[in-house]
């Protein structure tokens, strides 16, 4: 490269070719760093999903057929599974917002060092196995579990409440597991809100309540929508917690897929369910990005 730089003509356009080559070289190097990850994504995401997609259009006789999709329209039970899935996901998301917004606000108001300490409380469960946390809730909530025993012993209620193996238990467990996914982006967007803005609002005559409604809340909205969307999408495909805490009464798409595979070993039907869920999820994500102009919140654009 040195030789070509020296031999290049002097004056305007000097070393132009060598400099351009250098730039292209750097871009290639950067791209090569991403190659293993790209290959992994192709290997573990696109190929298997493509295979499932293919299977869902295969009839039991090995010919192309829409029978799996037709069955989903035909039997009411499928519709119910999807309704339950969306119902559980929406309720979990709402519970997360109700608990997570004040929590994130509290964290955002603390001085950064203290906030880091309290953030541990949010993150700690993150570092514990999902299965452990789910069974921990089972221990707490079951008929003769810690919560019922304690409440009865201090006389809050007389007969054990049914807190688990139903929708209540599923929601409690899922909200607990999903909470950090909402709090983290929300906290991030709240931290980015300039404190001068709240002072400016007060200075211009806004009471604390007005300042919150008209300035703080709208500015935290992008983080809240991003977090809610992550929670909602994760809920749609969630398996372990609904399976354990729902006790077979809360049938979501994921648990239904397992049931089909275990009972009928019908890959085609299971794949079709998965494809519909995937398409529905993508459609919701697309609509939400359009609706809330989420590019900024999700991809860190300013």
Partner 1 sequence: MSSQHDQQPPPAATALPIHIEGLTKKYGSMYALDAVDLEVRSGEFLTLLGPSGSGKTTLLMAIAGFNRPDAGSIRFGDEEMILAPPHRRNVGMVFQSYALFPHMSVAENVAFPLKLRGVDAQESAERVAEALATVQLESFGDRGIDQLSGGQRQRVALARAFVFRPRILLMDEPLSALDKKLREQMQIELKHLHEQLGVTTVYVTHDQREALTMSDRIAVINHGRLAQVDTPQAIYNQPANAFVADFIGESTMLPLSRDAGGRLCFADHVIGDAAADGDYSLVMRPERLFVTDLERKDCDQTLVFSGVVREFVFQGETAFALMSVNGEHDIAFRFGTDANSSQNFLHPGDAVALGLNRQDVIVIPQDDSA
Q: Which residue number, 10 or 195, has a Cβ lying nearer to partner 1?
A: 195
Site for partner 1 (CB under 8 A): how many residues? 19
Q: How far is the CB of 20 from partner 1 (least distance, A)?
A: 33
- Considering only residues 49 to 88 of the shown chain, the ones binding partner 1 according to CB under 8 A are none
Query: Which residue, 108 or 250, is less far from partner 1 as judged by CB?
Result: 108
Say if residue 133 is exposed, middle or buried (CB neighbours under 10 Å; 0-12, 13-18, 19+). middle
Q: How does DSSP classify residue 126?
A: G
Q: 150-189 mask for partner 1 (x: CB under 8 A)?
A: ----------------------------------------
Nearer to partner 1, 136 or 206 (CB): 206
Residue 267: exposure state from Cβ atoms within 10 A (0-12, 13-18, ≥19): middle
Name the nearest CA neighbour of 220 among 179, 181, 185, 196: 185
Tokens at 282, concatenated:
């993508």
**CA–CA separation, 122 vs 134, rounded Å?**
16
As measured in angstroms, the least distance from the Cβ of 62 to partner 1 is 57
In the bound state with partner 1, the residue whose beta carbon lies nearer, of 223 and 246, is 223
- Joined together, the tokens standing for residue 118 give 């309290």
Shortest distance in whole angstroms from residue 225 CB to partner 1? 13
Considering only residues 184-243, where is the footprint of partner 1 by CB under 8 A? Answer: 194, 196-197, 199-208, 210-211, 214-215, 218-219
Tell me if 264 contacts partner 1 by CB under 8 A: no
For the bound state, the minimum distance from the C-beta of residue 198 to partner 1, rounded and expressed in Å, comes to 9
Nearer to partner 1 by Cβ, of 179 and 201: the residue is 201
Q: How far is the CB of 213 from partner 1 (least distance, A)?
A: 11
Angle between helices 217-236 and 76-109 (to 10 degrees): 140
Minimum CB distance to partner 1, residue 296 (Å):
11
Task: Give CA torsion, residues 166, 169, 171, 175, to 10 deg.
Answer: -160
**Which is closer to partner 1, CB of 4 or CB of 203?**
203
Runs of H (alpha helix) within the chain: 2-7, 16-41, 47-56, 67-74, 76-109, 112-123, 130-141, 146-153, 167-191, 195-203, 208-211, 217-236, 240-246, 253-264, 267-292, 295-299
Where do contacts with partner 1 occur on this chain (CB under 8 A)?
194, 196-197, 199-208, 210-211, 214-215, 218-219
């Amino acid at each position: 490269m040195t030789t070509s730089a020296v031999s290049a003509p002097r004056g305007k356009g000097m070393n132009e070719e060598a400099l351009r080559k250098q730039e292209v070289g750097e871009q290639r190097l950067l791209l090569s760093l991403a190659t293993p990850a790209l290959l992994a994504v192709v290997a573990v995401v696109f190929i298997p999903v493509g295979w499932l997609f293919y299977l869902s259009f295969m009839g039991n006789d090995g010919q192309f057929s829409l029978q799996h999709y037709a069955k989903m329209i035909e039997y009411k039970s499928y519709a119910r599974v999807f309704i339950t899935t969306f119902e559980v996901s929406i309720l979990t998301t709402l519970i997360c917002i109700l608990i997570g917004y004040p929590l994130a606000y509290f964290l955002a108001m603390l001085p950064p060092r203290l906030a880091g300490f309290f953030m541990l409380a949010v993150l700690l469960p993150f570092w514990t196995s999902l299965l452990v946390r789910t069974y921990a809730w089972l221990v707490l909530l079951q008929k003769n579990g810690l919560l019922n025993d304690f409440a009865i012993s201090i006389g809050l209620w007389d007969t054990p409440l049914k807190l688990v193996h139903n929708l209540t238990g599923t929601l409690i467990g899922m909200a607990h597991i999903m909470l950090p996914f909402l709090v983290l982006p929300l906290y991030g967007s709240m931290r980015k809100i300039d404190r001068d803005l709240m002072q400016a609002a007060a200075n211009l005559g806004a009471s604390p309540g007005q300042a919150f409604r008209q300035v703080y809340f709208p500015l935290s909205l992008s983080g809240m929508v991003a977090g809610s969307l992550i929670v909602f999408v994760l809920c749609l495909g969630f398996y372990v917690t609904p399976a354990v805490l729902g006790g077979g009464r809360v049938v979501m798409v994921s648990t239904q897929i397992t049931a089909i595979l275990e009972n009928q070993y019908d890959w085609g039907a299971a794949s079709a369910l998965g494809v519909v869920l995937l398409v529905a999820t993508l459609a919701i994500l697309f609509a939400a990005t359009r609706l809330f102009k989420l590019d900024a919140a999700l991809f860190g654009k300013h």
